[in-house]
A and B are shown apart, each in its own frame.
Chain A
């Protein structure tokens, strides 16, 4: 300590000065702008370039949207109304909205059915997505496929009910028998369900479909955005169980089962979806018995389900691998056998961490459903590229239609991916 201290200095401040406010250039709007927009020469330059890009985009798009024409009957009329002014002919959307959403064959009087099915979809999907909701609500999810099937295809209600009864009885049998052995329960359940379904076939009278309360609609009448939704929802929900089986198979100790799963997964992941759709459209028909005939819709569902199952299997495998080894060992030490350990300990945890990944696969798959337009199915893109652009009134309207399709997909996919990111944050338990 120096000795030039209190004695030699006349005055020592004994209280601290209040901190002076930061310079005006560092706080408030100006500070924010400096920090975030005009940070150095490069920052300023980047900001200016971005501002120009935004201006250019808005200057092109805004007048086009605001001058848009919504009520004409054809492109020629619309161009007359616009009279050289820059603007979109959105009237193609208003005139063809039903075709864009439902395809051109779905009976107009029945549009409420897919609409209702879509509404119910939200109710059914909520218990899966919000894992904090009571588990009992999952029953709604389990019932949904049967209700949706009945709503969309119509026909007699006896069919979905009997299929459902088959599943329920199968489940009950499984519950009873699986206490002694999983395998017995599993095969018993399959046998019971098949018995119910076969017996049920005799119960439904022959003409039941024709004079049912909901008019039957063949699946080739589905189209437009509804077809994309249907393919997406059906294939994802079918491929989750298949994906679980494949993932477990790939993790299995049994070499034959493991290799069957590995070959399947790697094969499907190695080829583009479009070649699988070619298989559906030109090849698969050869693999069915000579006298049967499987509709293109069903064939496409089979191929897309296989496709997404392989990807979902990889996601779930990641989830299985991410579980700490101790969980497996704990299950073993409790004396649980393999099915019990999987069902009670491993899968519930592994699936929970796989949900964001599965949602990502689902979004990708939903976008990929547009590829069916290549094999002459009239989904949203197929409707645009086919009947609407070929129609005399509307050939030459590209931006409005393609923009509409892009916006529709963006809204759905962005919504789902935001959910998935939220979920990822909820599930992230480690701290950084």
Chain B
């Protein structure tokens, strides 16, 4: 902005630092920065003084030393002679695994409960309210312990399966539910292409991704056809074929067999073992967070104005179609941001694994490694860094999503 007559230039006085709005903000920022630097310096000097007094110093060398302990659930190769760093990575993968499983389950539970809570059926909606309130208002730690206790106290021990007249039997001779976990048949590739089994599975994943894009292309084509001619060609059997034919071909070539669990020695051997601690943590997090997601879903649906539903009804849509075609697509815009922050909560709450002995990163790096090496500061810092990275990643995803669904205002 230009003015015709500039006010005469004032000479700078010291009191302007405090009283003149032009300079005051610099003063305050300077003071704040000074205070911050001073307090950090003070804390750091305390820390180094304390460490020096004890003859210790910060060192990350322990990460390269052999860990010396075993981890029961490992997604990558690991034994007790490997390093603490390797143990940490095993823990990271376990954290990501339980967080992923819990997110998926919590979403399913939450959407079901949230939609049913708005159901016309009085009993069902009351029952869902009871579920939501019961789980939202009790600490997740208590739920984790309760579900873990249910697992151990109610399920039969493997030794109950032994003997001529066992107290417990396997379901269909394929699944065993024990208090150590659930044993299910595991798929095994007897002749994987390109040597290793991992490559074989990778190939299958690549195949599935290909099928996904194939199916999508088909859908696009059908939609274009519908736009042009008014009829939608029947494509469901082609879609089915696109999904399953490559999969079946691949699996047959690579010789898929099932490794069925059987009681051998002390435990069930073979098959895939889903541990009790994983199940307890997974279910507790899923059910607890599901209650919150149900509330988000309900709020999202209720945020869609009644007129939308009524308009859809007047077009002759049935209530299921109204939900699918009109309400949910609009509600998702409201639901997804809190949903993602619930995912973030699940990831952070998975650190309660420590209560059930699930070996996530809090159990390995923040637990046994910390105990064995006594490197408290280093371990806790690394732990925080990990969670911080994860949550910043999730927030970044959320921002991208928010920008993409933002109502375009023209």
- A residues sitting closer than 8 Å to B (CB atoms) are 35-37, 39, 43, 46-47, 50-51, 53-54, 181, 183-184, 253-257, 260, 266-267, 269-275, 278-279, 282-283, 285-290, 363, 367-368, 370-371, 373-374, 381, 385, 398-399, 402, 405-406, 409-410, 413-414, 417, 432
B133 CB–A CB distance under 8 Å: yes
Please tell me which one of the listed residues A43, A46, A254 contacts residue B25 in the complex, with CB atoms under 8 A apart.
Answer: A254
Nearest 6 Cβ contacts at the A-B interface: A36-B122, A413-B137, A272-B348, A270-B391, A282-B376, A367-B139
Q: Complex formed: what's the CA distance from A320 to B116 in Å?
A: 35
Q: Across the interface, do B141 and A370 meet the contact criterion of CB distance under 8 Å? A: yes
Q: Across the interface, do B120 and A417 meet the contact criterion of CB distance under 8 Å? A: no
B384 CB–A CB distance under 8 Å: yes
Q: How many A-B residue pairs have CB under 8 A?
A: 156
Q: Across the interface, do A46 and B119 meet the contact criterion of CB distance under 8 Å? A: yes
In terms of DSSP, what is the predominant structure of the interface of chain A?
Answer: helix
Given A47-B121, A254-B25, A270-B392, decide whether A409 and B139 contact each other with a Cβ distance below 8 A: yes
Q: Across the interface, do A398 and B121 meet the contact criterion of CB distance under 8 Å? A: no
Instruction: Give chain A nearest CB distance to B40 CB in angstroms.
Output: 10
Q: Which one of B46-54, B183-191, B275-283 contacts A?
A: B46-54
Q: Across the interface, do B380 and A36 meet the contact criterion of CB distance under 8 Å? A: no
Q: Complex formed: what's the CA distance from A281 to B124 in Å?
A: 45
Q: Complex formed: what's the CA distance from A269 to B151 in Å?
A: 32
Given A274-B354, A367-B140, decide whether A398 and B149 contact each other with a Cβ distance below 8 A: yes
Q: Across the interface, do B377 and A409 meet the contact criterion of CB distance under 8 Å? A: no
Given A36-B122, A54-B127, A367-B139, decide whether A254 and B391 contact each other with a Cβ distance below 8 A: no
Query: A279 — which chain B residues lie within 8 A by C-beta?
Result: 380, 384
Instruction: Give chain A nearest CB distance to B392 CB in angstroms.
Output: 6
Interface residues of B in 354-379 (CB under 8 A from A): 354-355, 362, 366, 370, 376-377
Q: Across the interface, do A289 and B46 meet the contact criterion of CB distance under 8 Å? A: yes
Question: Apart from A269-B391, A370-B142, what are 7 other A-B pairs with CB-CB below 8 Å?
Answer: A181-B19, A271-B384, A274-B352, A274-B362, A275-B380, A275-B384, A374-B355
Q: Complex formed: what's the CA distance from A105 to B121 in Å?
A: 51
Q: Across the interface, do A274 and B351 meet the contact criterion of CB distance under 8 Å? A: yes
Please tell me which one of the listed residues B47, B133, B139, B391 contacts residue A414 in the complex, with CB atoms under 8 A apart.
Answer: B133
Please tell me which one of the listed residues B122, B306, B377 contacts residue A283 in the complex, with CB atoms under 8 A apart.
Answer: B377
Please tell me which one of the listed residues B46, B116, B142 contacts residue A288 in the complex, with CB atoms under 8 A apart.
Answer: B46
Chain B residue nearest to A405 (CB atoms) is B142
Given A50-B124, A286-B46, decide whether A402 and B145 contact each other with a Cβ distance below 8 A: yes
Q: Across the interface, do B134 and A402 meet the contact criterion of CB distance under 8 Å? A: no
Chain A residue nearest to B388 (CB atoms) is A270
B146 CB–A CB distance under 8 Å: yes
User: Which of the listed residues A47, A278, A402 has the most CB atoms from chain B within 10 Å of its own CB?
Assistant: A278
Q: Across the interface, do B32 and A257 meet the contact criterion of CB distance under 8 Å? A: yes
Q: Across the interface, do A272 and B47 meet the contact criterion of CB distance under 8 Å? A: no
Query: B51 — which chain A residues lie within 8 A by C-beta?
Result: 286
Instruction: Give chain B nearest CB distance to A267 CB in angstroms.
Output: 7
B138 CB–A CB distance under 8 Å: yes
Query: B19 — which chain A residues lie within 8 A by C-beta?
Result: 181
Q: Across the interface, do B49 and A260 meet the contact criterion of CB distance under 8 Å? A: no
Query: B153 — which chain A residues lie within 8 A by C-beta?
Result: 398
Given A53-B127, A283-B380, decide whether A406 and B142 contact each other with a Cβ distance below 8 A: yes
Chain A residue nearest to B48 (CB atoms) is A286
User: Which of the listed residues B123, B136, B355, B377 has the most CB atoms from chain A within 10 Å of its own CB?
Assistant: B123
Given A43-B120, A275-B366, decide whether A287 and B47 contact each other with a Cβ distance below 8 A: yes
Please tell me which one of the listed residues B120, B306, B352, B391 contacts residue A35 in the complex, with CB atoms under 8 A apart.
Answer: B120
Q: Complex formed: what's the CA distance from A260 to B119 in Å?
A: 47
Query: B120 — which chain A residues lie within 8 A by C-beta?
Result: 35-36, 39, 43
Q: Across the interface, do A410 and B137 meet the contact criterion of CB distance under 8 Å? A: yes
Query: B146 — which chain A residues lie within 8 A by C-beta?
Result: 402, 406
User: Which of the listed residues B134, B142, B366, B390 has the most CB atoms from chain A within 10 Å of its own CB?
Assistant: B142
Query: B121 — which chain A residues lie within 8 A by C-beta?
Result: 36-37, 39, 43, 46-47, 50
Instruction: Give chain B nearest CB distance to A393 CB in angstroms.
Output: 19
B170 CB–A CB distance under 8 Å: no
Please tell me which one of the listed residues A283, A289, A290, A368 contacts residue B139 in the complex, with CB atoms under 8 A apart.
Answer: A368
Query: A257 — which chain B residues lie within 8 A by C-beta?
Result: 28-29, 32
Chain B residue nearest to A289 (CB atoms) is B46
Given A254-B28, A274-B362, A283-B376, decide whether A51 and B49 contact each other with a Cβ distance below 8 A: no
Q: Complex formed: what's the CA distance from A184 to B348 in Å?
A: 43
Q: Complex formed: what's the CA distance from A172 to B30 in Å?
A: 28
Query: B24 — which chain A residues lie within 8 A by C-beta?
Result: 183
